[in-house]
A and B are shown apart, each in its own frame.
Chain A
Amino acid sequence: MTTVGLHRPVPGDAPPPVTGTRRDRAAAGWRLARLYLVSRRVPMALALLAGLGALLWAALHWRWNIAGGAAARKFIPLTIQTGAAAVIAVTTYGPFGELERAAGRWLPWLRLGAAVALTSVAFGALAAGAAAGGMPGGTLALLRNLGGMTGIGLLSAAVLSGAFGWTGPMAYLLITEGALAHRSTTPWVWPTRPPADRGGAICAGLVIAAGLVLITVCGPRESGRESGPGS
């Protein structure tokens, strides 16, 4: 196979864009979204999020509390929220790499849509789990904590790689645990703040906004190294 005989296309001689009815375009769009979601293992992520919701329900229903006061009671629900954020972060990992980036015109929008949709589903699943009662901080705190930790997961995915996006939320959980134990109240560790606290909400909002922007525009980091975090 050689390049003999290949010529630069004459301007105006480009193939016409694929046209079709609105229905065809909708079908193609749906197919694209479906393939994207399947490639990101979103069905498995949905199953895991549902499992985390059920786990939260069980933890609240049977009162799996750590002794030590109100701060310690937050830890198990926070761990479950962290798990949800980690799952969302890992769904950003794509198996096709450069090929998909070069050809996928809609990729940024698909990334944004998937992240927002999964965060919403996670919130719904955990809110349903919280229906068992006794959720520390209530639904408002759940929204803030989950949103902020998902933002950290998306930032980790953008910096480290989608497959290792879970490291950010997990590390943040440890920082939160230390802050809860030692009564630190910086708004950047928002789970330590009251549910209606403006500072904590702003920080969590900033983090998820940054995470969504970064994952939409840049996507998750892709590494060529075999054994590195991106492999």
Chain B
Amino acid sequence: MTAATSAPVRPRTPRATSAVPLSAARLLRVELRRNAMPWILPLIAALFWFDSYRPSIGTAQLYGLRTFWNMGQGHTIIDFGPFVAAVAAWMGSRDGRRGLADLVTATARPRWATQLVTWAATAIWAVAAYLVFVAAMFVMYAHQGVGGTPPWWWVAAGVTAVAAFSAAGFAIGAYWPSRFAAPVAAFAGFLAMAMSSQAGFKYTSGWALILPTNSNGNFDGNAQGDSGIFYPWLPDLPIARIMFLAGIAVVALGLTGLPARAGGRGLRRAAAVLTLAGVVSAGTAVGLARTAQESAHGMIIPALHDAANDAPISYTPACGRAAGVPVCLNPAYRRWLPDVTAALAPVLAGVAGLPGAPAQASQVAAAYPSGDGGPPQAVTLGGHPLMLRLSLGLLNMPGPCGFCDGPVAAKQFADQIRLLFAHAFVGAGSGSGGPAQQAVQAALLRGAGIPFAAQPRLLATTGNFPESGLGPAAGPVYAAARRFAARPAAARHAWLAAHLAALRAGRLTLQELP
């Protein structure tokens, strides 16, 4: 072996840099063609339809509700992630399973570089499929006339989650070239999502907001916000989640470049830096999530918040009339305008001409619930001239209702609106109101066609009256209400005209009712 030592050192030929991207592109093309991901996509498509799309069409035609299950609670990610991780693990373990690890390590290109190309091909298939499936879902929604705008930032978070699952699965396969790598990666994916749900449903603030299945504060199935209808979807939390998930992806990919066989010292050093960068990104995102505060329009992260996102969405209202009073709704709610006018007509007719009767009814944005006092009142009175403000986003609209026991009947909705109107009209505020206010409220409802006997149940089933029981319509309040309702309409009208201000101020007692 002396020839080698005596041979002259040959100067290294300059690298043909232009050929590198070309050969990498060629390698990527080969990997895209030889990838296992397309084989699993039909199964994912079926599961996506079953688990993400099908349940969503049972909800009202509003983006906030349609996407609550599949985007807010992360079911599009649950449908994709574990399977993508498994196939990525299969691809990552390919060389090891086939006993080719030494062979590919000896090739001209560093092993880590070729591994990254294999991962890139896998991730491209998965992300492209995710985008196609979500686009198809939104096209179906558009065809069904779903109101509002899609939550694009949450789609971006989903894309990053799919990429992160692919990177994590690939790392499992690269480190453990076994036939069990794929099922273990899928299992780990499912377990991670289950644990994410476990923490995500419990915590409404703090670090757990970073978890991709946590819908608190941005999608809320109990008291729905009007994101994408009255105001834009806030990007703060999605940006933090993108940072977190991208950090996980970078950590996973960086880890595959750390072993000695991955490449030269410089490359491994770069992999270590990449891993650290991923850790920093994920850690920063968790720290940002801890600073998140719930606002009326969703979660705000001060460091990421752009005030421009607070600007309301402009629109031309859809208007109708109820008992001569104009009723205007956001165009996203146009389909329910006849229900709303029909619901308001009898109660507005009952108070027509009174000095405290509203001159107009208009829909206003529903705010995200804040504090422990339950959802805010959905119907309020205020402004000059007096306006009836309808926060319809807080109510279950007539028709399909994915989070109720069944579809919401038009009568159920109308009774609820009438109760909330009467409650607002007597000035009962956020509680049940005083006895005199309750009695006048009961009499107004009776005048709108809701018998006294049916009122306790209506109160109990409406979210804003938690202290109301399911007892009979009896007691001093209902006795006074019956007495008041028995008087002629003109006498009731005259009494209300004279005493409405005192009634709203809570200064009247039951004995003072006629």
Contact = CB atoms under 8 A, between A and B. Distances in A.
B198 A66 contact: yes
A167 B191 CA distance: 15
A118 B207 CA distance: 41
Interface of B is mostly: helix
B415 interface: no
Contact of B39 (A41, A45, A228): A228
Interface in A168-188: 170-171, 173-175, 177-178, 181-182
B10 interface: no
A65 B194 CA distance: 9
B183 interface: yes
B179 interface: yes
A205 to B, nearest CB: 24
B198 A65 contact: yes
B201 A174 contact: no
A79 B50 CA distance: 18
A175 to B, nearest CB: 6
A231 interface: yes
Nearest to A89: B183
Interface string A200-223: 000000000000000000000000
Interface residues of A, number: 39
A90 B179 contact: yes
B397 interface: no
B55 interface: yes
A174 B34 contact: no
Contact of B184 (A48, A162, A229, A231): A48
Interface string B37-57: 001100100110011001100
Interface in B317-362: none
Interface in B156-195: 178-180, 182-184, 186-187, 190-191, 194-195
Interface of A is mostly: helix
Contact of B194 (A76, A87, A167, A181): A76
Interface stretch (B79-87, B273-281, B289-297, B301-309): B79-87
B78 interface: yes
A166 B43 CA distance: 12
A66 B201 contact: yes
Interface residues of B, number: 35
B432 interface: no
Interface in A116-162: 162
B86 to A, nearest CB: 7
Contacts of B178: 41, 44
Given A64-B198, A66-B197, A90-B179, A166 B51 contact: no
B202 interface: yes
Contacts of A178: 50-51, 54-55
A135 to B, nearest CB: 16
Contact of A67 (B83, B179, B183, B198): B198
Interface in A61-113: 64-68, 75-76, 79-80, 82-83, 86-87, 89-90, 93
Given A79-B187, A228-B39, A163 B195 contact: no
B192 to A, nearest CB: 10
A82 B179 contact: no
Contacts of A89: 183
A86 B198 CA distance: 23
Contacts of A175: 47, 50-51
A75 B194 contact: yes
B35 interface: yes
Contacts of A48: 180, 184
Nearest to A170: B186
Contacts of B194: 64, 66, 75-76, 79
B387 interface: no
Contacts of A66: 194, 197-198, 201
B191 A67 contact: no
B36 interface: yes
A154 to B, nearest CB: 14
A182 B183 CA distance: 27
Contacts of B82: 170
A231 B83 contact: no
Contacts of A181: 55
A9 B202 CA distance: 77
B51 A177 contact: yes
Contacts of A68: 201
Given A167-B83, A175-B47, 13 more contacts: A48-B184, A66-B197, A66-B201, A67-B198, A79-B187, A80-B191, A89-B183, A166-B86, A166-B182, A166-B183, A170-B187, A181-B55, A227-B33
